[in-house]
């Protein structure tokens, strides 16, 4: 009987232990499951926050692109910078911020952001060409050429890529290759003013002013408003000078000098050189005056000033006063004394080499 009760006691003890284990095991599993769900929830929360930031950044980028298109540069820069603060992974924000930096002159930093936009976008061809054009303007022709070739390797019908490649060849003095690339661009996009101006300039450099003028005329036929563009005025004036049409040349060059930004020194010096060779000494002096404050230390500006001073000193000594063409009407002639001084002083020589 005693043994029977002892057996019952052992059974109850074992049963109690089993009950205890059955309680402990589910509790442990429940605790582990709660921990795992907690970690997963954090990841989801972080993911949601990151996605919301990216969506907001892209909305800001769209607003920035609209402001940039409307020439509200300060608003655009602010919007793009806010987008980047929320999400540096937004390639459109990197692109837009690069464009605003470039426009306000911070060009090295602009190329860095454009490079990042190119990387984030998976090498978007438009970003690649934009970066290539930046490198071209900065004088890194090899980098610009590489980007142009990279785009053309994937798409032979990319007009901007052919234009960029033409720019790199022109910078290297490879005019034949440059013209070939520009013509390839025009075959793809017949209405391409930038390329048409470049072609006209190359024809002029090759001593073909008639073909240059025909190219500019074609461009003006497609876009009447281009006649008021200072670059178009400049090249048209230079071509008229080459064709020995001094009245049209003088009027156009004077207007181009007034409208071109003074930071385009090479363009202004080309105008100055042509005005000097044509005997338009007063106009040349006016062109030089626009450059004096900003570029007075440039050796080419100093040479131009010296030669003009000598010409005016010679005229004062001989009692001759140069006349000024009526550039507003573009219809005034040249005085005999002006032509004589131009022949004696300029002798067909350029102000700078």
The set of residues, in sequence order, having a beta carbon less than 8 Å from that of 184 and lying 6+ positions away, is 162
pLDDT for res 48: 55
Nearest alpha-carbon partner for 304 in 345, 243, 249: 345
Residue 117 domain flag? yes
| Confidence (pTM) | 0.72
Note down pLDDT in tens along the chain; length 353 residues.
Answer: 444 444 445 544 554 554 454 444 455 544 544 454 454 444 444 445 567 887 888 899 899 899 888 989 899 999 999 999 999 999 999 999 999 999 999 999 999 999 999 999 999 999 999 999 999 999 999 999 999 999 999 999 999 999 999 999 999 999 999 999 999 999 999 889 899 999 999 999 999 999 999 999 998 888 888 888 999 999 999 999 999 999 999 999 999 999 999 989 999 999 999 999 999 999 999 999 999 889 999 999 999 999 999 998 888 887 765 654 543 433 333 444 444 444 433 333 333 33
What's the chain look like in SS3? CHHHHHHHHHHHHHHHHHHHHHHHHHHHHHHHHHHHHHHHHHHHHHHHHHHHHHHHHHHHHHHHHHHHHCCCHHHHHHHHHHHHHHCCCCHHHHHHHHHHHHHCCCHHHHHHHHHHHHHHCCCCHHHHHHHHHHHHHHCCHHHHHHHHHHHHHHCCCCHHHHHHHHHHHHHCCCHHHHHHHHHHHHHHCCCCHHHHHHHHHHHHHCCCHHHHHHHHHHHHHHCHHHHHCHHHHHHHHHHHHHCCCHHHHHHHHHHHHHHCCCCCHHHHHHHHHHHHHHCCHHHHHHHHHHHHHHHCCCHHHHHHHHHHHHHHHHHHHHCCCCCCCCCCCCCCCCCHHHHHHHHHHHCCCCCCC
Domains held by the chain: number: 1
Contact 322, 281 (CB under 8 A): yes
Contact 83, 55 (CB under 8 A): no
Residue 88 domain flag? yes
pLDDT for res 326: 41
Residue 342 domain flag? no
Nearest alpha-carbon partner for 247 in 285, 283, 200, 208: 283
Residue 194 domain flag? no
Q: What is the CA radius of gyration of the chain?
A: 36
Cβ neighbour number for residue 247 with a 10 Å cutoff = 15
What's the distance, Cα to Cα, between the start and end of the chain in Å?
A: 128
Residue 95 domain flag? yes
Residue 89 domain flag? yes
pLDDT for res 139: 95
Residue 151 domain flag? no
Q: How far apart are CA 109 and CA 287, in angstroms?
A: 33
**Domain coverage including residue 76:** 59-65+72-99+109-122
Q: How far apart are CA 218 and CA 193, in angstroms?
A: 10
Q: How far apart are CA 202 and CA 232, in angstroms?
A: 14
Residue 13 domain flag? no
At 326, give phi and psi (nearest 5°): -80, 90
């Amino acid at each position: 009987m005693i043994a029977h009760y002892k057996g019952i006691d052992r059974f109850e003890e074992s049963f109690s232990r089993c009950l205890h284990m059955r309680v402990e095991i589910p509790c442990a599993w429940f605790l582990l499951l709660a921990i795992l769900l907690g970690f997963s929830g954090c990841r989801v929360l972080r993911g949601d926050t990151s996605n919301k930031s990216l969506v907001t950044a892209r909305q800001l980028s769209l607003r920035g692109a609209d402001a940039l298109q409307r020439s509200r540069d300060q608003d655009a820069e602010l919007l793009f910078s806010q987008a980047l603060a929320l999400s540096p992974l937004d390639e459109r924000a990197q692109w837009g911020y690069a464009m605003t930096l470039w426009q306000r002159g911070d060009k090295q930093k602009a190329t860095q952001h454009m490079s990042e936009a190119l990387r984030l976008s998976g090498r978007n061809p438009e970003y690649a060409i934009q970066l290539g054009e930046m490198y071209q303007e900065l004088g890194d022709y090899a980098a610009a050429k590489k980007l142009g070739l990279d785009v053309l390797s994937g798409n032979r019908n990319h007009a901007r890529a052919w234009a960029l490649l033409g720019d790199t060849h022109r910078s290297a003095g490879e005019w034949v290759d440059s013209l070939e690339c520009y013509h390839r661009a025009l075959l793809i996009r017949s209405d391409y003013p930038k390329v048409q101006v470049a072609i006209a300039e190359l024809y002029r450099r090759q001593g073909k002013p008639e073909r240059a003028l025909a190219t500019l005329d074609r461009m003006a036929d497609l876009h009447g408003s281009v006649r008021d563009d200072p670059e178009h005025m400049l090249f048209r004036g230079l071509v008229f000078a080459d064709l020995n049409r001094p009245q049209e040349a003088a009027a156009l060059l004077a207007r181009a000098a007034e409208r071109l930004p003074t930071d385009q020194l090479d363009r202004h010096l080309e105008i100055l050189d042509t005005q000097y060779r044509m005997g338009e000494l007063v106009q040349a002096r006016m062109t030089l005056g626009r450059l004096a404050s900003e570029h007075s230390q440039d050796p080419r500006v100093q040479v131009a000033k010296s030669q003009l001073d000598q010409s005016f000193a010679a005229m004062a000594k001989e009692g001759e006063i140069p006349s000024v063409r009526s550039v507003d009407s573009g219809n005034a002639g040249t005085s005999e004394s002006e032509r004589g001084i131009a022949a004696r002083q300029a002798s067909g020589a350029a102000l700078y080499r």
